[in-house]
Amino acid sequence: MTKPLEGIKIIDFTHVQAGPACTQLLAWYGADVIKVERPGAGDVTRSQLRDIPGVDALYFTMLNSNKKSLTLDTKTPEGKEVLTRLIKQSDVLVENFGPGALDRMGFTWEHIRELNPGMIVASVKGFSDGHHYEDLKVYENVAQCAGGAASTTGFDDGPPTVSAAALGDSNTGMHLAIGILTALHARNRNGGKGQKVAVSMQDSVLNLCRVKLRDQQRLDRIGYLEEYPQYPHGKFSDVVPRGGNAGGGGQPGWVLKCKGWETDPNAYIYFTIQGHAWAPICRAIGKPEWIEDPAYMTASARQDKIFDIFATIEAWLADKTKFEAVNILRKFDIPCAPVMTMKELANDESLRASGTITEVDHKERGKYLTVGSPIKFSDLKVEITGSPLLGEHTNEVLETLGYSSKEIAALHAASAV
Q: Residue 333's closest CA among 262, 276, 375, 390?
A: 276
Q: Is 17 annotated as a binding residue?
A: yes
Q: Is 319 annotated as a binding residue?
A: no
Contact status: 236 vs ligand COA (CB under 6 A):
no
Q: Taking a C-beta distance cutoff of 8 angstroms, is the pair 95, 123 a contact?
A: yes
Q: Which of 56, 169, 203, 215 is catalytic?
A: 169
Q: Is 255 annotated as a binding residue?
A: no
State whether residue 174 is helix, strand or coil: helix
Q: How far is the CB of 45 from ligand COA (least distance, A)?
A: 9
Q: Is 104 annotated as a binding residue?
A: yes
Q: Long-range CB contacts (< 8 A, 24+ apart) of 189-195? A: 192/117, 192/118, 193/117, 193/118, 194/113, 194/116, 194/117, 194/118, 194/119, 194/120, 194/121, 195/120, 195/121
Measured from the Cβ of residue 8, the count of other Cβ atoms closer than 10 Å reads: 21
Binder among 81, 101, 216, 321 for ligand COA (CB under 6 A): 101
Nearer to ligand COA, 253 or 388 (CB): 388
Q: 104 has which bridge partners? A: none
**Which burial class, exposed, middle or buried, applies to 300 when counting CB atoms under 10 A from its CB (0-12, 13-18, 19+)?**
exposed
Contact status: 279 vs ligand COA (CB under 6 A):
no
Contact status: 98 vs ligand COA (CB under 6 A):
yes
Binder among 133, 139, 316, 332 for ligand COA (CB under 6 A): 139
Question: Nearest-5° angle of CA 338, CA 344, CA 347?
Answer: 135
Contact status: 209 vs ligand COA (CB under 6 A):
no
Contact status: 137 vs ligand COA (CB under 6 A):
yes
**Piece of 51-59, 124-132, 255-263, 325-333 that binds ligand COA (CB under 6 A):** 124-132
Q: Is 140 annotated as a binding residue?
A: yes
Contact status: 175 vs ligand COA (CB under 6 A):
no
* Per rule CB under 6 A, count of chain residues that contact ligand COA: 23
Q: Is 85 annotated as a binding residue?
A: no
Cα separation of 85 and 80, whole Å? 9
- β pairing state of 336-338 and 268-272: antiparallel
Nearer to ligand COA, 38 or 287 (CB): 38
State whether residue 202 is helix, strand or coil: helix
Nearer to ligand COA, 38 or 259 (CB): 38
Active site residue 308: no
Binder among 169, 203, 227, 314 for ligand COA (CB under 6 A): 169
**Piece of 26-34, 73-81, 188-196, 236-244 that binds ligand COA (CB under 6 A):** 73-81
Binder among 124, 181, 334, 417 for ligand COA (CB under 6 A): 124
Contact status: 60 vs ligand COA (CB under 6 A):
no
Residue 227 φ then ψ, to 5°:
-90, 0
DSSP string, 289-309: GGSS-TTTSSHHHHHTTHHHH
Contact status: 61 vs ligand COA (CB under 6 A):
no
Q: Residue 219's closest CA among 208, 230, 209?
A: 230
Measured from the Cβ of residue 34, the count of other Cβ atoms closer than 10 Å reads: 25
Nearer to ligand COA, 69 or 153 (CB): 69
**What x-and-dash track marks residues 257-276 binding ligand COA by CB under 6 A?**
--------------------
Q: Residue 143's closest CA among 174, 170, 116, 113?
A: 170
Q: Is 137 annotated as a binding residue?
A: yes
Dihedral angle over CA of 237, 305, 244, 234, nearest 10: 20
Binder among 105, 145, 351, 408 for ligand COA (CB under 6 A): 105
Cα separation of 194 and 213, whole Å? 34
Contact status: 171 vs ligand COA (CB under 6 A):
no
Q: Is 18 annotated as a binding residue?
A: yes
Q: Which residues are part of the catalytic machinery? A: 169
Instruction: Extract the annotated binding site for substrate.
Output: 249-251
Binding site for ligand COA (CB under 6 A): 16-19, 36, 38, 72-75, 96-98, 101, 104-105, 124-126, 137-139, 169
